[in-house]
Structure 1
Amino acid sequence: MPIFKSRAVRVITAAVAVGLVATGCASERGKDGDKGGDKDTFVFGAPGDPGSLDPALASDGETFRVTRQAFEALLEHESGGSKLVGGLAEKWSSDPAGKVWTFNLRKNVKFHDGEAFNAAAVCANYDHWFNWKGTYQSSAVSYYWQTIMGGFKANEDKETPKANYKSCTAKDDSTAVIEVNETSANLPGGFSLQALAIHSPKALKEYEKQEATAKGDAITYPKYSQEAGTVAGTGPYRITKWNKGNKEVSLERFDDYWGEKAKVKNLVFRTIDTEDGRRQALQAGDIDGYDLVAPADIKTLEGAGFNVPTRDVFNLFYLGMSQEKNPALKKPAVRQAIAHAIDRENLVKTQLPEGGKVATQFMPDTVAGFSENVKKYPFDSAKAKSLLASAGASGLSIDFCYPTEVTRPYMPAPQDIFELIKADLEKAGIKVTPKPMKWAPDYLDATEAGSCSLHMLGWTGDFNDGYNFIGTWFAEYDKQWGFKDPKVFTAVKAGSLEADATKRTDLYKKANEAIMEYLPGVPLSSSPPAIAFGKNVNPPNVSPLTQENFAEVSFK
């Protein structure tokens, strides 16, 4: 999920990164306190607030963490893994070109408002998104639709991408056919995204009565998306309340769910925006679980009897460079010097949980398309100094932005990581000017605009396809990096246009090799983020995509 490549970031994540530490209220705990199996409410401490109750309007993980419990897409990922499996569609297939997708839908599925799920409902959703107008066409509102399906029936801005969605046809009640104009590596993975989860047609009609509005960069989201009552999906829970004052979203088990019923009746997501605050709330029994556990806290919590499962690696943390901000970075030798100057082994060893890996390219080795043949840049301060000298850049001064008030799955302690990299660069003779910035909107805006010579960001994959990583950054010119290299862009795009999966994987390998030869930035590491649960909790299967299904949770 994007943290982030797009101007979609600035508005949506502003709500995500800000929160107040809230402690438990008796009315929200199970009626029998901590008596394990008698509890009927599971409270999860989230790092940030959701931005919307309509996932189609979102691009951030905290929104999707909540909405995933209430909405389902045509496809899903297997519990605890990254393999695509049936969601609301039991089976799916495509023509050889990957332009016509046929979905055989589940029967006897109901929406939370009592409406029946069928092929007409699927088409109503896709046509609803395709016909968006006005502020809904802003990439800050429709990031994922534009990423997966391109633009709209009538684009209102020349920067909006060309529409790739062509049509949806309800062949019969249980068969939906979606057609696109061009082969895309984003399919079928894109059909699994929360942003393309299916809503009740009755709810859609209410949505269409309301508008999103914009004033400058500030987006005002439609009322239906900011309070419970209108949104309706098919998931194991239904959203019943969003108490913004207490920074809590409440959900209740949907007893007419088509699949296995949720094991716990009530589910509450409570925003606690500091890792220490989340840990202390878990230890005090005020919450039953939390995410983004600090690596230093894992053994402490496990030793005290808490459950702290670690997800598989499916993210990438990198040092970004803006060539437009600092012309010295246009010289390959300078970029190579920076890469050689950083002791990534030490960063992984001291800052990441057990299982962290040094990155050699802009995707983890768990993604199809990872290449063993990329050019590598091992830690070597002396070589870094020599390269700077050869480029006429000895004594290089450079600004280095890093985020505050945030923890990310790939970046558990931003300031500590910044200090390590800064020390490495200075050892190689580079003078660093620190530029700390509040995560949202300041840091995200600055990095998106290419206003930082160096910066730290990362990505957790949405689905297992190489283009979901390298295509995010290097398919075309992007201000974050500020370079134009046709060889890189062509190599990355080639994979996205190939329908055959085996050939596509080979093209991604070649693209990774071209990227690392050019070296637009430095891939640093991949991290297995940990998630914690109470002593009396049977956790869900933890997901490398951070897509946990809390209907799997139960109390001991």
Structure 2
Amino acid sequence: MSAYTRLLLVCVSLASLIGCSDDPQQDSDIRSRGFVYCGQDKPTTFNPQLIDGGLTADTLAAQLFDRLLLLDPVSHQPLPSLAIGWTISDDGLVYTFTLREGIEFQTTDWFTPTRQFNAQDVVFSFKRVIKPDHPFHSVSGGRYPWFDSQGFANLIEDIEVVDPLTVRFTLSRPDNAFLSNLATTYAVIHSQEYAEQILRAGKPDRLDSLPVGTGPFYLDSYQANDFVRLNRHEGYWLGAAPMEQVVFDIASRGTGTLAKLLSNECDVLSSPVASQLPIISADDDFNLNAQTGMNVAFLALDNNQPELSDVRVRKAINHAINRENLLNSVYYGTGTKARSILPPMSWAYNHGSQALDYDPVKARTLLKEAGFEKNLSLTLWVPLEPRPYNPSPRKTAELIQADLNAVGVKVDIIIQDTVNRFSAIDKFNSDLILTGWVADNGDPDNFLRPLLSCDAKQAGLNVANWCNLSFDNLLELASRTPKLNQRLNYYHLAQDILDTEVPIVPLAHGVHFQVHHRSLEGLQMSPFGTRSFSTVFRRSEI
């Protein structure tokens, strides 16, 4: 059954869905009014503040919410969005933002706004995250992994309303990445008025399951493991989107995503498997786009495990993995071998890196020195979902398993459906975790801090469970200094520590592919994964 058919059946049975016709025949032209997006991921929440990646952070958030700032996809510099301008004090501690006037919040079945966006909404959205005594802080579990990994609660000393269209952030220390962080997909703005309404009703969790934002589309309906339907926000400040609706097909049953694309059940396919690219390229009905991504696939080594606390074992694992083989067999030549957690396009990339190369003989020697010549057994946690940094995680895991087996290390693979880093730690106590990262902005801090800092270990994003105070101190120095050459030196020294300590094994940097039907125009791609559908339209059939 197609996504369209499923949607029409739901429209018939659920009277609460906005815009659904009682007569399925009247919805037969759904593709002229919208489009269907296929991906492998499923949302666990509609609030990106609560997660560290996936469909909500990568795609849904950009449709539902706006942020104070955006990032230029080329220069990676912050651009105005809900904030039209800002000033920074001479000491780098006070940021004052002038907000855009006339921004309308979405009207939904569950909320009708009575006022426009103002400074109170900004203060609410961030204080919820950083203030433990805030009435919404503990709602939906009270975990804000990305913000916690950045140490946001310690960084932001105060947020205050200056006037309805001016908001002031006071920091506890200078932070060169602060503006870029406000432009990330996690720094979304919620409606304080809506929050107060549901708090009075005793249903605060609705903030995360029934969202209200200022974005180009609002949530119309959601069927778990089936579809998410968004409708056009007619009052969007940049003008109503050309398309009336967007349907996310998240069903895992039935045919695969490629089959859905080729049979016109889907209009857009994100992150197709690399082996599918020749089939797609040969079909004139589809356009294949590529974006060099700010991303990395890596193998995290749990430093809390006794065997992996020995740096010789960690180095042996690094030496054992044949990255060239991964590039040929998994990425089909589209990826780049990773020698650092930072991609080569980062301005802080250390081209003089002393990262370890493939050397199985050296790997066996190090294992023997550590007392694990033939008796080391490890578990490897692997998500199934293809991601821009890893188009085929299962195949990657099997190749790593074979490489480690060749040097005498037995590996048991644990397969999971979703990319949930917390389950790897909390449920399975895995030794090795196959994961990765898509940068939220162009600052090198966005790779190093949320993945490997001591704060990130506490937050749960640092799945290597590695904490090094010298490394953290270098990140702090880099965030405080206004001199670019000094920042570069600090980041190079931080990467030298990673080369020496090997808490993770960088594997590859992937290319993000996206396929869409040739009738669609206006689809955007970004090195940071986020993309708004506010400019998408469909040409008449050609």
Taking structure 1 as the reference length, the TM-score comes to 0.82
Gaps of at least 5 residues in structure 2 are 9-19, 107-112
Q: Is residue 2:218 matched to residue 1:249?
A: no
Q: How does 1:75-474 map to 2 (within 5 A)?
A: 75-78=69-72, 82-112=76-106, 113=113, 115-129=115-129, 130=131, 131-133=133-135, 136=138, 141-148=143-150, 150-151=152-153, 163-209=154-200, 222-227=205-210, 231-239=211-219, 241-245=220-224, 247-273=226-252, 277-305=256-284, 306-327=286-307, 329-352=308-331, 354-427=333-406, 429-440=407-418, 444-447=422-425, 451-474=429-452
Q: Measure, in 2, the Cα distance between the counterparts of 1:284 and 1:527.
A: 27
CA RMSD of aligned residues (A): 3.1
The residue identity in structure 2 corresponding to 1:416 is: K
Q: Measure, in 1, the Cα distance between the counterparts of 2:148 and 2:303.
A: 27
User: Which of 404-413 and 295-304 deviates more?
Assistant: 404-413
- Calculate percent identity across the aligned residue pairs: 21
Would the alpha carbon gap of residues 317 and 111 (structure 1) be closer, same or farther in structure 2, given more than 3 Å must change? same
For the Cα contact (< 8 Å) 1:405–1:438, is it kept in 2? Answer: yes
Please give the per-residue CA displacement for 1:264-320, whole angstroms capped at 9, x wherever unaligned: 121222213489621111111112112120001112112112122122221111122
Would the alpha carbon gap of residues 43 and 484 (structure 1) be closer, same or farther in structure 2, given more than 3 Å must change? closer
| SS across alignment from 1:309 | strand
Q: Quick one: which of 496, 499, 516 aligns to 2:499?
A: 516
Q: Which residue of 2 aligns with 1:66?
A: 60
User: Which of 410-419 and 442-451 deviates more?
Assistant: 442-451
Q: Measure, in 2, the Cα distance between the counterparts of 1:517 and 1:94.
A: 38
| SS across alignment from 2:378 | strand
Q: Number of paired residues?
A: 509
The residue identity in structure 1 corresponding to 2:55 is: E
Would the alpha carbon gap of residues 517 and 80 (structure 1) be closer, same or farther in structure 2, given more than 3 Å must change? same
Q: CA deviation at 1:140?
A: 5.3
Q: Measure, in 2, the Cα distance between the counterparts of 1:149 and 1:386.
A: 40
Q: Measure, in 2, the Cα distance between the counterparts of 1:275 and 1:298.
A: 21
Taking structure 2 as the reference length, the TM-score comes to 0.84
Q: Measure, in 2, the Cα distance between the counterparts of 1:342 and 1:480.
A: 20
Q: Measure, in 2, the Cα distance between the counterparts of 1:501 and 1:275.
A: 53
The residue identity in structure 2 corresponding to 1:365 is: P
User: Which of 257-266 and 440-449 deviates more?
Assistant: 440-449
The residue identity in structure 2 corresponding to 1:362 is: I
Q: CA deviation at 1:442?
A: 8.4
For the Cα contact (< 8 Å) 2:475–2:491, is it kept in 1? Answer: yes
Q: CA deviation at 1:526?
A: 0.8
Q: Quick one: which of 31, 50, 54 aligns to 2:43?
A: 50
| SS across alignment from 1:272 | coil
